[in-house]
Structure 1
Amino acid sequence: MAGQKSSVQVRHTDAEAFAASLLEAAGVSKKNANIIGRALVQADLRGVESHGINRLPSYLARIRNGVLNPKAEPTVNEVTPVVAQVDGNNGFGFPAAHLAMETAVKMAQIFGIGMVSVKHSNHFGMSAWLVRQAVDAGMMSLVFTNSSPALPVWGGKSQLMGVSPIAAGSPGGEDSIPFILDMAPSVAARGKIHKALRRGEKIPEGWALDEEGKPTDDPEKALGGVMLPMGGPKGSALAIMMDVFSGVLSGSAFAGGVTGPYDMSKPGDVGHFIVALKPDLFMSLDEFRQRMDVLYRRVVGSEKMEGVERIYFPGEIEQLTEEKRRKEGIPFVQAEIDVLNAEAERLGVAKIQHAP
């Protein structure tokens, strides 16, 4: 693929430190910069490069254009003992979502369930890092968000719904990995289109249509057109569901009103919806874990169709990728490194370092 010959490896620890230093130089608090840096690098480690540190230039551009407040701190308001709302105050979506999950987990630890709505937020990257936050606390979770228009409703031809991911997770058993689902209601995440454009690559036909409604493999034309929903009306309905729970319910933008991370015209006003749930509400934790082990074994041990070498549990491929990249480093195309280092030079911080 184009650009792959000039790829370089970066240690995940160096990537985190670099991201945090850029953000701090742009006015983000040390605590929030570390939250954002860890979440972005988790995406790179898991092979979700469309939501990794290459997002930083667009975030920094939003700060420079005055449509994202780097100094904003999210605030939380308890509605009931098991329901709260976080106001992102037009700061980064990462700290707002982190606080929301932290609040939901604390509620669930006492009452079995915690539900938090987030308003006036921004893009929070890959949803799986929030699911992982819950799993690390021993909790099951649901993570919803809405996003900027990119997808037509089924039967329509213009952008209206966001390519808004639906995510869920659960701790695994003694002999199985956690269940981590993070998927967009489109055939492919829109971030993958931006990644292809950045790397000078084509996209598979069937991902998007150009502005004339024709199939395209050109990422630039795809960004000017529409993404295609997975499963036709099913993907469209899931995108609408994300808008109901994340936008309508929270009091944030909805129905095409969310501003995307590459749009410098106005605040994002993104909404999120987060639930944490104790896994031992209906049985002992030991029994729950045993049942997860059974599920895992049955899934990965299923009879394989012709041509399939291995069956994976949701989140397993990403976990294996993370294990590999923690040892070997995260691969970046040199052009991506150059863009990141241009931001470092602009902000007067040390440039990102390649692994030897």
Structure 2
Amino acid sequence: MDSRKYIIMADEQQEQQNLIYVSAQEAQAYAERVLQANGLTPTNATTVACGLVAADLRGIDTHGINRLPSYLIRIRQGVLDPSAEPALHIKTPVAAQIDAHNNFGFIAAAQGIQHACTVAETYGIGMVSIKHSNHFGMSAHLCQTALDHPSGPMMSLVFTNSSPALPPYGGRSKLLGVSPIACGAPGGPTHPDFILDMAPSVAARGKIYKALRRGEKIPMDWALDATGAPTDDPAKALEEGAVMLPMGGPKGSALAIMMDVFSGVFSGAAFAGGVTGPYDPSRPADVGHFLVCIRPDLFMSRAEFGERMDVLYERVTEGERAKGVERIYMPGELEQITERKRREEGIPFVKGEVEGLDAEARKCGVEGLRVV
């Protein structure tokens, strides 16, 4: 065996041995305890906790309950209002705007996606713009919420802007957010739903924070340090003057600008580098979101739509594979597989992450995480 492969496998085995597992139910209960102790109502605490645990279950650990300390320090610094209630204003029969009033983005976004789905039941499409918000977690969770709508699964588009991390193509200073692009559509009768959730950067910024938290290096093509040189050090990738790199050069840069147009400019929220990052407790974030829900039977029967989705799935996944590829997946399918596994085995954390979460629990006088 190649010695490098042996070392990698040994490192992975060692990491597996050092993992601590927490059930989804306990992660949810822990998050609710901590959030309620920091001023959220039980209902709103459940909403935020659901979004965080959904990310952990899908393997998007960068957007799971490890985000809680960064949110809670913003509450303690007075730049995030856990007691505010978003206000919904109807603009047309199919369009509404929500002022999040600087509460958690999860809360306004949950209200927005439900309203857009309800409107789409009648009119075929519904859209909601949100301003004065905060980070809303994993975008795929909102797509899944639309797919789980009680009246039937809805297609969705989920946009948000975020704090500066990327330079515009050809630029040197960070201006654009690592703003995810997400969409969802129900699958056919024999295949899974489609969910796309991706950042316009080579990697999501949360992955750099995760590497920093775990003492790991990052790939050299993720970011440039403050001197403009590629770096594998997550601390240098996050220092002042460092920038993340857009995927596909001008294409990733253009997608980040698109997110700012629809989520920032259009909503009345901050834009053009004005959003405050979730790890910066100095001032309100003023994030903007844009949500669209569409009834899948708007132009054909639901049955025909499902059959066509099944055909698409089969054409994508059953085509000729490139050398070394064992299986072709649809977007979101790997995360669905991870979710099934983690519901059975638990959500993995390293010791330092559990210690950090337990420290937050002690600060507000509630019980820490119960591990499996």
TM-score category (smaller protein): over 0.9
User: Structure 1 length as normaliser, TM-score?
Assistant: 0.99
Whole-angstrom distance in 2 between the partners of 1:9 and 1:242:
36
Question: 1:40 Cα deviation (Å)?
Answer: 0.3
Aligned match for 1:293, one of 306, 310, 326? 310
Whole-angstrom distance in 1 between the partners of 2:235 and 2:245:
15
Whole-angstrom distance in 1 between the partners of 2:187 and 2:256:
28
Q: Which residue of 2 aligns with 1:96?
A: 108
Q: Secondary structure at the match of 1:252?
A: coil
Q: Which amino acid aligns with 1:177?
A: P
Whole-angstrom distance in 1 between the partners of 2:107 and 2:305:
31
Q: Which residue of 2 aligns with 1:76?
A: 88
Q: Which amino acid aligns with 2:65?
A: I
Whole-angstrom distance in 2 between the partners of 1:72 and 1:219:
35
Question: 1:49 Cα deviation (Å)?
Answer: 0.1
Q: Which residue of 2 aligns with 1:148?
A: 163
Aligned length: 355
Q: Which amino acid aligns with 2:138?
A: M
Q: Which amino acid aligns with 1:12?
A: A
Per-residue CA deviations over 1:80-135 (Å, capped at 9, x if unaligned) read: 00000011000000000000101100100010000100000000011000000011
Whole-angstrom distance in 1 between the partners of 2:264 and 2:333:
30
Whole-angstrom distance in 1 between the partners of 2:44 and 2:256:
29
Whole-angstrom distance in 2 between the partners of 1:297 and 1:277:
24
User: Structure 2 length as normaliser, TM-score?
Assistant: 0.94
Q: Which amino acid aligns with 2:30?
A: F
Whole-angstrom distance in 1 between the partners of 2:194 and 2:95:
25
Question: 1:240 Cα deviation (Å)?
Answer: 0.3
Alignment of 1:204 onto 2:216: no
Q: Which residue of 1 aligns with 2:332?
A: 315
Alignment of 1:343 onto 2:360: yes
Q: Secondary structure at the match of 1:172?
A: coil
Per-residue CA deviations over 1:139-191 (Å, capped at 9, x if unaligned) read: 00000000000000000011100000000000011001010000000000000
Q: Which residue of 1 aligns with 2:345?
A: 328
Alignment of 1:165 onto 2:199: no
Q: Which residue of 1 aligns with 2:4?
A: none
What is the Cα-based RMSD across aligned positions, in Å?
A: 0.9
Alignment of 1:87 onto 2:99: yes
Q: Secondary structure at the match of 1:56?
A: helix
Aligned match for 1:213, one of 225, 228, 231? 228
Question: 1:295 Cα deviation (Å)?
Answer: 0.6
Whole-angstrom distance in 1 between the partners of 2:36 and 2:22:
20
Question: 1:339 Cα deviation (Å)?
Answer: 0.3
Whole-angstrom distance in 1 between the partners of 2:330 and 2:293:
21
Whole-angstrom distance in 2 between the partners of 1:353 and 1:232:
44
Question: 1:6 Cα deviation (Å)?
Answer: 2.5
Q: Which residue of 2 aligns with 1:272?
A: 289
Whole-angstrom distance in 2 between the partners of 1:195 and 1:125:
15
Stretches of 4+ aligned residues off by more than 3 angstroms: none
Alignment of 1:182 onto 2:182: no
Q: Which amino acid aligns with 1:198?
A: R
After TM superposition, list the pairs within 5 Å mapping 1:60-75 onto structure 2: 60-75=72-87
Whole-angstrom distance in 2 between the partners of 1:160 and 1:223:
14
Per-residue CA deviations over 1:183-233 (Å, capped at 9, x if unaligned) read: 000000000000000000000110000011100000010012100000000
Q: Secondary structure at the match of 1:169?
A: strand
Whole-angstrom distance in 1 between the partners of 2:141 and 2:281:
26
Amino-acid identity (%): 63
Q: Secondary structure at the match of 1:182?
A: strand
Whole-angstrom distance in 2 between the partners of 1:122 and 1:86:
13
Aligned match for 1:135, one of 135, 147, 166? 147
Whole-angstrom distance in 2 between the partners of 1:160 and 1:62:
22
Q: Which amino acid aligns with 1:100?
A: G
Per-residue CA deviations over 1:44-97 (Å, capped at 9, x if unaligned) read: 000000000000000000000000001111110000000000110000000000
Whole-angstrom distance in 1 between the partners of 2:231 and 2:306:
46
Whole-angstrom distance in 2 between the partners of 1:292 and 1:312:
14
Q: Which amino acid aligns with 1:133?
A: T
Q: Secondary structure at the match of 1:262?
A: coil
Unmatched 5+ stretches in structure 1: none
Question: 1:302 Cα deviation (Å)?
Answer: 1.0
Alignment of 1:194 onto 2:204: no
Q: Which amino acid aligns with 2:281?
A: M
Q: Which residue of 2 aligns with 1:239?
A: 256
Alignment of 1:58 onto 2:70: yes
Q: Which residue of 1 aligns with 2:136?
A: 124
Whole-angstrom distance in 1 between the partners of 2:78 and 2:299:
49
Whole-angstrom distance in 2 between the partners of 1:65 and 1:281:
47
Q: Which residue of 2 aligns with 1:258?
A: 275
Q: Which residue of 1 aligns with 2:244?
A: 227
Q: Which amino acid aligns with 1:14?
A: E
Question: 1:136 Cα deviation (Å)?
Answer: 1.0
Question: 1:236 Cα deviation (Å)?
Answer: 0.1
